[in-house]
Amino acid sequence: MRQASGEQWSISAAGHEAVVVEVGGGLRAYTVDRAPVLDGYGPEDICPGYAGTVLAPWPNRIRDGRYNFAGTTHRLAITEPERHNALHGLVAWSRWRAVKASADEVTVEYDLPPQSGYPWALSLSATYRVGADGLRAEHAVTNVDSSPCPFGFSVHPYLFPGAPVSDTLLHMPARTRLLLDGRLLPIGAAKVAGTEFDFTQPRAIGALELDVAFGDVIRDGDAPSEVTLSTPDGGGVAIWADAGFGWWQVYTGDTMLAERRRRSVAVEPMTCPPDAFRSGRDLITLEPDQTWRGTWGIRPLR
């Protein structure tokens, strides 16, 4: 019987082991010396809460699934019916294929066909590698259509910080956060300085419920930015992303089912904020034959 997450590809090196899956082309598990770093799921389980999946050609939400691009209005399927949004792109439930595999590295690909609401063809690839420095993921997305297309990208890992979420110290190098309406769609932005959302220095999450995008990311030139989830004794996990990712989404899992609620923290590097197909903010336009590339990774602290 075929497993719910499809074919599995395990990679390992220096005590680091990860499992990449066919369905969603993402990470089902990542451990270091057998200790879980990623809050994943079993091979027989349907992926919960987009855990570890690739989010493309847009991350997060599009209001009413409707947007205008190059003078044409497009309507996407509503995949978050309770909020009437189009959620997390078109590839999270697709079957990816492995094109290269070795002991410590695997590359998977998926060809997105033109469809109602997104009439462009994309070729996507993801290469995952593990080693003594942690896990590294390299992504490439090419517009193989004959006309420009709108594009955004993210991934959705849930991380085990090594402590209850309320006791976890979050370090988020960002100066602003988006203000959201009841549908978790942006209606403005605010500086975090002096507020309960200021994590520019490591601070306990406490009772704060987070499902918010942070922007105006603090970085050293084009160097990667890094978010950490740590414990008071210095343990924990860091997730980093290159300069192509200008946003971080943090979700403390408060709306997950009971067994996963506030069990881990999703930290998502994003190229654009929610509803970018409508606002145009940091939206990428991929020209025919143009390739977008992005790299991110996870490493344990200590």
How many beta carbons lie within 10 A of that of residue 136, not counting itself?
A: 17
pLDDT tens digit sequence for 271-286: 999 999 999 999 999 9
Q: How far apart are CA 178 and CA 89, in angstroms?
A: 20
Least confident of 39-43, 209-213, 219-223: 219-223
Task: Name residue 227's amino acid.
Answer: V
Per-residue pLDDT at 40: 96
User: Is residue 79's pLDDT more than 80?
Assistant: yes
Question: What pLDDT score does 187 carry?
Answer: 98
78 confidence band (pLDDT: 50, 70, 90):
very high
Please give the span between the terminal C-alpha atoms of the chain, in angstroms, as a whole number: 41
Mean pLDDT of 220-242: 95
pLDDT, the chain, mean: 97
Q: State the Cα–Cα distance between residues 178 and 210, nearest whole angstrom.
A: 12
Q: What is the per-residue pLDDT across 195-216, written as a single tens digit (0 to 9) for each?
A: 999 999 999 999 999 999 999 9
pLDDT band at 235 (very low <50, low <70, confident <90, very high): very high
Kindly report, residue by residue over 149-175, the tens digit of the pLDDT.
999 999 999 999 989 999 999 999 999
The dihedral through the CA atoms of 164, 45, 61, 276 has a sign that is: positive
Query: Beta strands 225-230 and 236-241: pairing type?
Result: antiparallel
Residues 250, 210 contacting (CB under 8 angstroms) = yes
Residue range 248-259: average pLDDT?
Answer: 95
What is the number of alpha carbons within 13 Å of residue 230 lying toward its C-beta?
A: 17
222 confidence band (pLDDT: 50, 70, 90): confident
For the question of whether the overall pTM of this predicted structure is more than 0.85, the answer is yes
Residue 184 CB-density burial (10 A; 0-12 exposed, 13-18 middle, 19+ buried): buried
- Tens-digit pLDDT profile for residues 42-74: 999 999 999 999 999 999 999 999 999 999 999
Domain ranges of the chain: 8-301
Looking at residue 302, its pLDDT comes to 80
pLDDT band at 132 (very low <50, low <70, confident <90, very high): very high
The pLDDT-based confidence of 5 (bands split at 50, 70, 90) is: very high
User: How far, in Å, CA of 198 to CA of 192, rounded?
Assistant: 5
Mean pLDDT of 288-301: 97
Pair of tokens at residue 189: 């932005």
Instruction: Kindly tell me if the per-residue pLDDT of 1 is higher than 80.
Output: no
Give dist(CA 255, CA 261) in Å, integer: 7
Model pLDDT, residue 75: 98
Task: Tell me if 275 sits within 8 A of 67, measured CB to CB.
Answer: no
Burial of residue 4, with CB atoms counted within 10 A of its CB: 0-12 exposed, 13-18 middle, 19 or more buried: middle
CA dihedral 168, 173, 178, 182 (to 10 degrees): -10
Look at residue 289 in the predicted model and tell me its pLDDT: 98
pLDDT, average across residues 214-239: 95
**What is the C-alpha separation between 216 and 191, in angstroms, rounded?**
9
CATH of 8-301, one of 2.40.30.30, 2.70.98.10, 3.40.640.10, 2.40.50.140: 2.70.98.10
- Supply the pLDDT for residue 158: 98
Count CB neighbours of 302 within 10 A: 9
Q: How far apart are CA 157 and CA 268, in angstroms?
A: 7
Q: Residue 135: which pLDDT band, with cuts at 50, 70 and 90?
A: very high
Q: Which pLDDT value is given to residue 234?
A: 87
Q: Residue 2: what pLDDT? A: 80
Residue position matching structure tokens 């109602």: 116
* Contacts of residue 221, Cβ cutoff 8 Å, sequence gap at least 6: none
